[in-house]
């Protein structure tokens, strides 16, 4: 009996080793495929010079399939440097680090850009990841100044950081659900400088958003308009969704990711509960489709004619993987769904054939369907959060 037990234990151990080896090989093959595809992205030789503006950063493809580059002022400009930094983390190859450093440096002057709330989106994937991996002190200085610039948009009466300065005919003081993502820069700055002002503003904004952006089922409006003099809520809209009362898919993804990150930085259980409520909405109330890539709005059900949004599922996957490390009850569920999203996004249906789509990784994302903008195309932030999800998956597996 003892010999049989030893034999069975050996079989189990060998099977486990084989399974780990297969997962490792599959991961290595995927990273190699990603590396090959990213070689087709533009270089600085492809820069478009418009005089006062230079277009460096890939954002998407045009309707005719041409590459669309944007300037450093675009809200998506930090994601390509972030893609490069994640490739350096995933491969440990200096070629990605060198390119990441180059494209990151092109964003430095944005640390003074107070014209919108998107400094977190720009600076954390670029200078933030760069500082995390290299401890370059010059990156730290850029990030701190960026945080100082961002808090100039905070209104104490409203309890929020103003989002857009445009559309003044619709909103006096608009705050969008996406703005949660920019709070990570403020939490980072508070830790690095010891200044509680950044932290307090971030927490106040998070609580204001939690109070006013969410419906009873924990789905979120896109835009809440405030009176800047009194802080009163004037309107609630879903600007990029199907209708004001509908559930814009990427908006729900921002909410899930945002409150997961906010809990990480505060350890306040109210934010963990909020993240879990949003996850429950996405996974159980609305439910993701069989391939785990939603339509651009959860309220739409016509999968034959309405476009998907791979960017929403990439953000959801990354958020669920982090949330799995905090939750006490749903860890396995979150990891399972995140892995299924990653598997789906890595399939032929959603991953670009090598050499196509100008180097973008993922197909079938949607920017703003109501504006007929960036529909069923690659988007740089979809690629960024996809790589972040792969990086987080690797950390959890290790």
- pLDDT tens per residue, range 117-140: 999 999 999 999 999 999 999 999
Predicted confidence band of residue 398 (pLDDT cuts 50, 70, 90): confident
| pLDDT of 221 higher than 50 | yes
Predicted confidence band of residue 19 (pLDDT cuts 50, 70, 90): low
| Rounded average pLDDT over 374-388 | 98
Q: Which residue has the higher pLDDT, 23 or 71?
A: 71
Instruction: Please provide residue 225's backbone torsions phi and psi, each rounded to the nearest 5 degrees.
Output: -95, 135
**Mean per-residue pLDDT over the chain, rounded:** 93
- Report yes or no: 189 and 147 within 8 Å, Cβ to Cβ: yes
Predicted confidence band of residue 15 (pLDDT cuts 50, 70, 90): low
What's the token pair of residue 294? 């939603």
Residue 1 belongs to some domain of the structure: no
> Containing domain of residue 158, as a range?
25-397
Whole-number Cα distances in Å, 214 to 157, 182, 260, 266, 345: 20, 19, 16, 21, 28
Residue 385 belongs to some domain of the structure: yes
- Report yes or no: 222 and 251 within 8 Å, Cβ to Cβ: yes
| pLDDT of 13 higher than 70 | no
Tell me the percentage of the chain whose pLDDT exceeds 70.
94
| Residue 155 burial (C-beta neighbours within 10 Å; 0-12, 13-18, 19+) | middle
Residue 353 belongs to some domain of the structure: yes
The pLDDT value given to residue 152: 98
Numbers of helices and strands, H then E, in the chain: 13, 11
CA distance 164 to 175: 7
Predicted confidence band of residue 43 (pLDDT cuts 50, 70, 90): confident
| Rounded average pLDDT over 79-102 | 97
| pLDDT of 5 higher than 80 | no
Predicted confidence band of residue 8 (pLDDT cuts 50, 70, 90): very low
Options 118, 297, 309, 383, the catalytic residue? 118
Residue 10 belongs to some domain of the structure: no
Predicted confidence band of residue 17 (pLDDT cuts 50, 70, 90): low
Predicted confidence band of residue 18 (pLDDT cuts 50, 70, 90): low
Handedness of CA 274, 280, 285, 290 (dihedral sign): positive
Report the relative pairing of strands 365-368 and 373-377 from DSSP bridges: antiparallel
In this prediction the pTM is 0.94
Options 26, 49, 94, 178, the catalytic residue? 178
Predicted confidence band of residue 12 (pLDDT cuts 50, 70, 90): very low
Residue 231 belongs to some domain of the structure: yes
- Report yes or no: 54 and 354 within 8 Å, Cβ to Cβ: no
What CATH number is associated with residue 238?
1.50.10.10
Domain count, the chain: 1
Q: Is 178 a catalytic residue?
A: yes
Residue 13 belongs to some domain of the structure: no
150-180 residue pLDDT tens = 999 999 999 999 999 988 888 999 999 999 9
Q: In the beta sheet, which residues pair with residue 61?
A: 67
The pLDDT value given to residue 41: 92
Of residues 212, 114, 206, 227, the one with CA closest to residue 165 = 114
What's the token pair of residue 286? 């609305």
| pLDDT of 9 higher than 50 | no
Residue 20 belongs to some domain of the structure: no
Residue 19 belongs to some domain of the structure: no
| Rounded average pLDDT over 67-71 | 95
């Amino acid at each position: 009996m003892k010999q049989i037990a030893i034999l069975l234990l050996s079989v189990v151990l060998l099977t486990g080793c084989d399974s780990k080896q297969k997962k490792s090989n599959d991961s290595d093959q995927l990273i190699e495929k990603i590396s090959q595809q990213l070689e087709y992205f533009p270089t600085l030789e492809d820069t478009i010079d418009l005089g006062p503006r230079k277009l460096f950063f890939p954002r998407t493809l045009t309707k005719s399939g041409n590459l669309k580059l944007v300037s450093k002022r675009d809200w998506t400009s930090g994601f390509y440097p972030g893609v490069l930094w994640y490739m350096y983390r995933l491969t440990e190859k200096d070629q990605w680090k060198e390119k990441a450093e180059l494209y990151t440096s092109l964003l430095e002057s944005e640390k003074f850009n107070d014209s919108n709330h998107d400094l977190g989106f720009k600076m954390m994937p670029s200078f933030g990841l760069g500082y995390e991996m290299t401890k370059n002190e010059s990156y730290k200085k850029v990030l701190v100044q960026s945080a100082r610039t961002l808090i100039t948009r905070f209104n104490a009466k409203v309890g929020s950081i103003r989002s857009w300065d445009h559309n003044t005919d619709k909103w006096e003081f608009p705050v969008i659900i996406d703005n949660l993502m920019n709070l990570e820069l403020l939490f980072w700055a508070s830790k690095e400088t010891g200044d509680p002002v950044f932290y307090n503003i971030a927490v106040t904004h998070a609580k204001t958003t939690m109070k006013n952006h969410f419906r009873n089922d924990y789905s979120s409006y896109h835009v809440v308009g405030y009176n800047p003099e009194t802080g009163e809520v004037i309107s609630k809209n879903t600007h990029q969704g199907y209708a004001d009362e509908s559930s814009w898919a990427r908006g729900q993804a921002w909410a899930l990711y945002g409150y997961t990150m906010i809990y990480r930085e505060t350890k306040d259980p109210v934010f963990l509960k909020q993240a879990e409520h949003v996850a429950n909405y996405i996974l159980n109330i609305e439910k993701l489709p069989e391939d785990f890539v939603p339509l651009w709005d959860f309220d739409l059900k016509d999968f034959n004619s309405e476009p998907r949004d791979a960017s929403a599922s990439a953000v959801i996957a990354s958020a669920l993987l982090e949330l799995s490390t905090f939750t006490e009850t749903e860890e396995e569920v979150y990891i399972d769904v995140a892995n299924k999203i990653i598997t789906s996004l890595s399939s032929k249906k959603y991953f670009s054939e090598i050499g196509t789509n100008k180097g973008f990784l993922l197909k079938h994302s949607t920017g703003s369907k109501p504006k007929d903008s960036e529909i069923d195309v690659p988007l740089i932030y979809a690629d960024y959060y996809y790589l972040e999800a792969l990086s987080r998956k690797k950390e959890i597996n290790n």
